[in-house]
Structure formats: C-alpha cells, structure tokens
C-alpha cells in the first residue's frame, strides 16, 4: 500500500499552553486534526467556565484563517469546584469534560484533587449531567513505585469509583499499562481510554537504557514492553473504548534537559505518522481510521468529521528541533525516519 486516506482524525487529549506558545501549538494541533480536547493545566489552572471560554477565545485568535479546527474545552477539578460551575459547564455547550489531576501527580497539578472522596458531591452531579470525568489515572502516594502508580490507581481508586458512580462517564487518559487496558476493556461502554503515540511505540528502555533521554519522559512514565504490547492489542482490536489522544505536551528544551526535567512529549509535528507506524508494525493499518477518527467522536456523542487526510509511504526525517514561543523545543522521536508522511488534508472539520 502506497497511500492511506482516512476520515479527518481528532485528538482527544492535548496541551496547548498559553500566551506566546499558542502561536506554535495551535497551528500544529490544527494541521492533522478536526478537533482537540484542550487540557486545563495552565498556571493558574482553568477552574471556571468563564476562564475556559476566555482561553478558548485566545486559542481561536491564533488559529490561522485557512485552518478549520475546533477546540473542545475542559475544566480543572479541584477540591472546591462548586457544583453550580459544573451545571454551567454543561449548559455552556462548550465544555466537553472535567479533568481530574491527583494533586502533585504531573505538570501543573498542584491545585489538583487531594482525595477522590472529597469530590464525591461533584462526581454525583457530573454523573447526573452526563458530564465526562477525564482521569489522570495515577496515585501520588510516595510509597508507590512510579512504574506501579497507574495499576495501583485502578485497584485502589478507579474500581471503587465505578461502583459508587455506575453511570459516570469516564475516560482513563493516556493509559499505559496492561492493567489499565484490561480494566477499560471489561468496563461498561461509558468507560473509555485514550492512548498516546509514545506509549504505543516505546518502552522504558527508550527512556533509560544506554543514557537518560529526557525527551522521552512523560507521565505516566513509559512502561516495560509487555505493557506496550497490551496497548497495541487494545488500540488495534477495533473496540470503540480506545481512541487517539496524543497528550502532546510541549516544554522548552531547557526545562527538559536539566537536573529535574519536566514531564511531557510534543508529538504534533508527526502525530498521525507515529500512530501509523505503530499500527503498521502490528499489521493493523486497517484499524487506524476507527481509532483515530471514529471511536472518540462516537464516545462523546459528536458527529464524525467529514474531511479526510492522506498519508503517503514516503520516508522522511523528523526535525531535530522546533520552536515554542521563541524557545527551542525538541519533539518526540527527533531526527528519526518515519515511513509514512501526511501529504493532504481535505476541507471539512465537523459534520
Ligand atoms: C503533561 C504536561 O506537560 O502538561 N505532561 C505529561 O507528561 N503528560 C501533563 C499530563 O498530562 O500529565
Ligand atoms: Zn496530558
């Protein structure tokens, strides 16, 4: 096969940052996708509907005129989120879901939830409203090994949560383990997961063997290869519960290459090409369109996109360096050669 045309994909989990950075991140997000679910972990975090709508305007102001792309906004859940704010979020029609960060788990998560039990009133209202909970699924207990934090979260927090709120719509964002994939596969249809390109392509050796490679450091951290293979199986099985979410999370080079570097990989320079490589290696290119372009829209009850993108088999070398708000940024898989390259995008964002 020399070319592959699929419905225009959506990115169900991404980070755009703010201010100067938007000039680089917004066009990159709009290049290959029809819509993107914009994470709220700014400083300060996006905790109110008015903040989310103002952020949405700043994003749209940097969208190039010739690009059609829709930001789908999220709210950052805190211990003190008023339930009235959740009702307003639903009523606004612009807020797709509410993001749970365990306090201290990842980049800009200091205002996150200190314990899920403290937000039971908010979760009850979200369950009633059909407002999805987007989960950063890791415990932050310092006694739990960083490689076990997702599996322990599922056992200690997520399993009880699904019993207490059986109707709550949930997405286990950037799932990284066989335990996570198995949990979602066995859960009811209103529980789903997103998967990043790095977790489909790389294991922890890529991060740590033969030298530490900070540009492969993200959270949840890359796991051993058996987990990567479980994610490949989940993504390529045709199940509507698993869909594309790049977790593209840019940090300037200087904040990655340092004694205590930030977590996050930027992947919007080649997101579809990276997924295509992972799917092709698994002999499952035919499943790419459903994963990238159908399952997420179906889960969220949104129309599938009407446009298309085309990838060609054409070996190309990924850039070594890009820019983020005037500072150098090293993208995921910098300098690697990929077999597929996007060559065309046809008009049409959403139906
Ligand atoms: C994200 C970021 O940089 O905002 N980092 C990451 O490693 N994924 C935060 C997140 O999604 O955990
Ligand atoms: Zn993220």
pLDDT tens readout for residues 165-177: 999 999 999 999 9
Beta bridge partners of 301: none
Q: What is the structure's pLDDT at 349?
A: 46
**Which residue owns the Cα nearest ligand 1 atom 9?**
107
Task: Please name the residues in contact with 277: beta carbons below 8 A apart, sequence gap of 6 or more.
Answer: 201, 338, 339, 340
**What does the block give as tokens for 92?**
């606004």
Distances (CA, A) of 343 to 260, 265, 279, 287, 337: 38, 23, 19, 20, 16
What are the structural domain ranges in the chain? 11-304
Give the residue-averaged pLDDT of 59-86.
96
Average pLDDT of span 307-321: 98
Which of 98-112, 137-151, 193-207, 246-260 is least confident? Answer: 98-112
Pocket flag, ligand 1, residue 219 (CB < 6 Å):
yes
The whole-number pLDDT of residue 69 equals 97
- How does the average pLDDT of the chain come out, rounded? 97
Give Cα separations from 214 to 118, 125, 349 (angstroms): 35, 40, 35
Query: Closest ligand 1 atom, CA of 219?
Result: 7
Cα(39) to ligand 2 centroid in Å equals 7
Give yes or no for residue 127 having a pLDDT over 70.
yes
d(CA 330, CA 231): 25
Asked whether 31 and 67 are in contact (CB, 8 A), the reply is yes
Q: Is 264 touching ligand 1 by the criterion CB < 6 Å?
A: yes
Whether the per-residue pLDDT at 129 is higher than 50: the answer is yes
Mean pLDDT, rounded, for 55-82? 96
What pLDDT shows up at residue 110? 82
Class assignment of domain 11-304? Answer: alpha beta
Please give the positions annotated as active site: 247
Token output for 216: 């492969």
Query: Which atom of ligand 1 lies nearest, measured to the CA of 217?
Result: 7
In the predicted model, what is the mean pLDDT of residues 125-137? 98
Q: How far apart are the first and last CA of the chain?
A: 28
Residue 351's pLDDT is: 42
Dump pLDDT digits (tens) for 98-125.
Answer: 999 999 888 788 889 999 999 999 999 9
Average pLDDT over residues 310-338: 98
pLDDT value at residue 348: 62
Does residue 218 have its Cβ closer than 6 Å to ligand 1?
yes
Q: Is the pLDDT of residue 40 over 80?
A: yes
């Amino acid at each position: 096969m020399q070319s592959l045309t699929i419905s225009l994909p959506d990115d169900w989990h991404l980070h755009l940052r703010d201010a100067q950075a938007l000039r680089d991140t917004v066009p990159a997000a709009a290049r290959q996708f029809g819509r993107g679910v914009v994470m709220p972990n700014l400083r300060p975090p996006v905790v109110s509907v008015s903040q989310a709508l103002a952020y949405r305007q700043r994003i749209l102001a940097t969208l190039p005129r010739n690009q059609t792309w829709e930001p789908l906004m999220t709210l950052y859940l805190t211990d003190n989120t008023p339930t009235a704010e959740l009702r307003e979020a639903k009523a606004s029609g612009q807020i797709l879901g509410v993001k749970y960060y365990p306090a201290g788990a990842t980049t800009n998560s200091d205002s996150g939830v200190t314990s899920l039990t403290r937000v039971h009133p908010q979760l009850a209202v979200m369950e009633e409203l059909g407002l999805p909970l987007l989960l950063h699924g890791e415990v932050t207990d310092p006694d739990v090994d960083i490689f076990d934090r997702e599996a322990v979260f599922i056992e200690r927090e997520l399993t009880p949560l699904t019993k207490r709120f059986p109707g709550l719509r949930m997405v286990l964002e950037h799932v990284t383990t066989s335990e996570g994939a198995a949990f979602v596969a066995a859960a009811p249809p209103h529980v789903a997961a997103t998967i990043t390109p790095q977790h489909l392509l790389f294991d922890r050796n890529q991060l740590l063997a033969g030298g530490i490679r900070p540009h492969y450091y993200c959270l949840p951290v890359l796991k051993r290869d058996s987990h990567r293979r479980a994610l490949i199986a989940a993504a390529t099985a045709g199940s509507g519960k698993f869909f594309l979410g790049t977790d593209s999370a840019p940090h300037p080079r200087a904040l990655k290459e340092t004694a205590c570097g930030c977590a996050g990989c930027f992947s919007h320079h080649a997101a579809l090409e990276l997924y295509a490589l992972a799917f092709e290696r698994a002999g499952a290119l035919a499943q790419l369109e459903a994963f990238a372009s159908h399952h997420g829209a179906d889960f969220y009850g949104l129309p599938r996109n009407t446009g298309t993108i085309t990838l060609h088999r054409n070996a190309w070398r990924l850039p070594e360096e890009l820019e983020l708000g005037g500072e150098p940024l090293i993208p995921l898989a910098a300098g690697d050669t990929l077999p597929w390259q996007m060559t065309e995008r046809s008009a049409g964002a959403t139906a």
